[in-house]
Amino acid sequence: MDLFDEELLKPKKKKQIQPTTIILAAIITLIILCVIVVVAIVYLKGTILTISIDGITANELEDILIIEENNKVYMPIRKMAEYLNYQSYNGDYTNRSEDATKCYIENLEELVSFTLDSNVITKVIDGQSQQIKITEPIKEINGELCITAEGAQDAFNLQFYYDVEHNNIIIQTLSYLYNIASTQAINNGYVAIEEETFANKTAVLDGMIIVKAQNGNFGVISTTNNEEMILETKYDSIQYLRKSSDFLVGSNSKKGIISKDRSTKVDPTYDSIEKITNKNDTFYLVEKSDLYGLLDVNGQTVIFPEYQKIGIDVTAYSQNGVTNGYILYNQIVPVQRNNKWALFNIDGTKITDFIYDSFGCPTAKAQDTSVTYGVIEVFDYNLIVACQNRKYNLITLEGNGLFDDYILDSVYITVTEGKNVYYITSGEQTRELIGFLQENKVTKPIAIE
């Protein structure tokens, strides 16, 4: 063999990388990068809280909402009220003060009050108050009164959804939900209801909407399925009673109550029906031929409709903190017959005879120049101010008079350092009431729940 063979001395050509191989590698790299980006985006979306209200991004609410480690969401009441266009104030609406343990919010439709450590909120709509139980009590966080998101649904009339897995919060207000539901109803052939009442609009929070047919009659349909008829369109009028999820219906100038499952609770035989509530229960004040009675939430008779009046006007007792003239102390019903008043229990038991001219002392004059306010209830001692022949006595919830006779000329409140102070007068004597009761060893009763 020739060691100097020219073929052996020629340099070997390097192996060329095909262009298709380069392109394939680039595509694979790009795909990997895209997967990494997608995974990163999904991860970031899961770690960044997103909030929307009425379909619009509202991440600024992250600075308002308080999410605890157990994923329970709290809302500072006054901050949330401002965001939702409510007015808000410290103190109680019936007794104006700067008490930071209480607050209330209001808009054109309703007023809602809150108290620290209480699991009851009070709503006032069209002058009627109702108490609503919430699952968790009002809590103080960072010096502000806060309510859970679940409680806020009742307080602010909204729906709240928190998807913990995807870190997403959706809030839908009553006006937003009603506009969607009413538009769908109109698109399905129903007639627009002009100036629908606030109470009726709240039915959408429970998945229903009151509709008007082409012939002018009213009914109720489901908001999730407009073909699902809850109440047929055959009523002259319908009013939603949200606390009990019932409907007050009008037919042939008579009123009745039908539940959302279509069962008749109260036959449409009454001239009028009005919902009244205490802390725990709902009742119906019924009228037939100018006589009044009381039914429970199931339509059972509590007080037969045979009385001149049930309930009293409490507009003079706002400083006294009384807003419900139908049920005093959550259990006592004032009833009038032949221009005389008696007290009944909410179970229908008559506590006193019809011997009183009225309940409450609406006006009084102090010995000094202090401004005075009317009194009907003495809360600490569960007493009711009763009147006979323009003289007063204090009556227990069992119907017993604190004094042997009607010896008081007046019972009134003055406000000192932001607190109510009760006084009684008899002749030339004026006594501070709570001190008088303590001196005479009148014991406080067990608090009414």
pTM (two decimals)? 0.79
Percent of the chain with pLDDT over 70: 92
- pLDDT of residue 7 exceeding 60, the answer is no
**341 burial class (0-12, 13-18, 19+ CB within 10 angstroms)?**
buried
13: confidence class by pLDDT, cuts 50, 70, 90: low
- pLDDT of residue 32 exceeding 90, the answer is no
Q: Which residue has the higher pLDDT, 161 or 447?
A: 161
- pLDDT of residue 221 exceeding 50, the answer is yes
pLDDT on residue 321: 87
Please state, in angstroms and as integers, the Cα–Cα distance from residue 366 to each residue in 21, 322, 403, 434, following that order: 103, 21, 22, 17
d(CA 120, CA 116): 10
Average pLDDT over residues 4-26: 58
In this structure, which amino acid lies at residue 117?
Answer: D
Q: Which of 206-215, 227-236, 277-286, 388-397 has the lowest mean pLDDT?
A: 277-286
Q: Which residue has the higher pLDDT, 412 or 441?
A: 412
18: confidence class by pLDDT, cuts 50, 70, 90: low
Q: Which residue has the higher pLDDT, 198 or 33?
A: 198
- pLDDT of residue 239 exceeding 90, the answer is yes
pLDDT on residue 216: 95
pLDDT on residue 4: 44
- pLDDT of residue 9 exceeding 70, the answer is no
Burial 365-382 (b: 16+ CB within 10 A, else e): eeeeeeebbbbbbbeebb
Q: Which residues pair with 284 in a beta bridge?
A: 275, 295
235: confidence class by pLDDT, cuts 50, 70, 90: very high
pLDDT on residue 337: 98
Q: Which long-range contacts (CB under 8 A, 24 or more apart) does 428-436 make?
A: 430/366, 430/367, 433/378, 434/380, 434/381
Pairing of strands 419-426, 429-432: antiparallel
- Tokens 């008007």 found at: 212
Average pLDDT over residues 310-327: 92
pLDDT digits (tens, 9 = 90+) for 98-118: 889 999 999 999 999 999 999
Strand ranges across the sheet with 264-270: 237-241, 246-251, 254-259, 264-270
pLDDT digits (tens, 9 = 90+) for 433-449: 999 999 998 887 755 44
Percent of the chain with pLDDT over 90: 73
Burial 216-230 (b: 16+ CB within 10 A, else e): ebbbbbebeebeeeb
56: confidence class by pLDDT, cuts 50, 70, 90: very high
In this structure, which amino acid lies at residue 90?
Answer: N
pLDDT digits (tens, 9 = 90+) for 247-259: 999 999 999 999 9
Structure token digits, residue 47:
């770690």
d(CA 203, CA 181): 10
51-172 CATH, one of 3.40.50.2300, 3.30.1360.30, 3.40.50.920, 3.30.457.10: 3.30.457.10
pLDDT on residue 358: 97
d(CA 107, CA 84): 10
- pLDDT of residue 92 exceeding 90, the answer is no
d(CA 408, CA 429): 10
pLDDT on residue 406: 94
Is the Cα torsion angle 243, 246, 248, 254 positive or negative in sign? negative
pLDDT on residue 42: 52
In this structure, which amino acid lies at residue 58?
Answer: A
Average pLDDT over residues 285-305: 96
pLDDT on residue 410: 95
Residue-averaged pLDDT of the chain: 90
pLDDT digits (tens, 9 = 90+) for 332-378: 999 999 999 999 999 999 999 999 999 999 988 887 778 999 999 99
Nearest alpha carbon to residue 348 among 302, 300, 280, 305: 302
pLDDT on residue 19: 66
Burial 417-435 (b: 16+ CB within 10 A, else e): eeebebbbbeeeebeebbe
pLDDT digits (tens, 9 = 90+) for 124-155: 887 777 888 899 999 999 999 999 999 999 99
Are the beta carbons of 377 and 396 closer than 8 angstroms? no
- pLDDT of residue 41 exceeding 80, the answer is no
Nearest alpha carbon to residue 291 among 273, 305, 271, 310: 305
Domain layout of the chain by residue ranges: 51-172, 188-307, 308-449
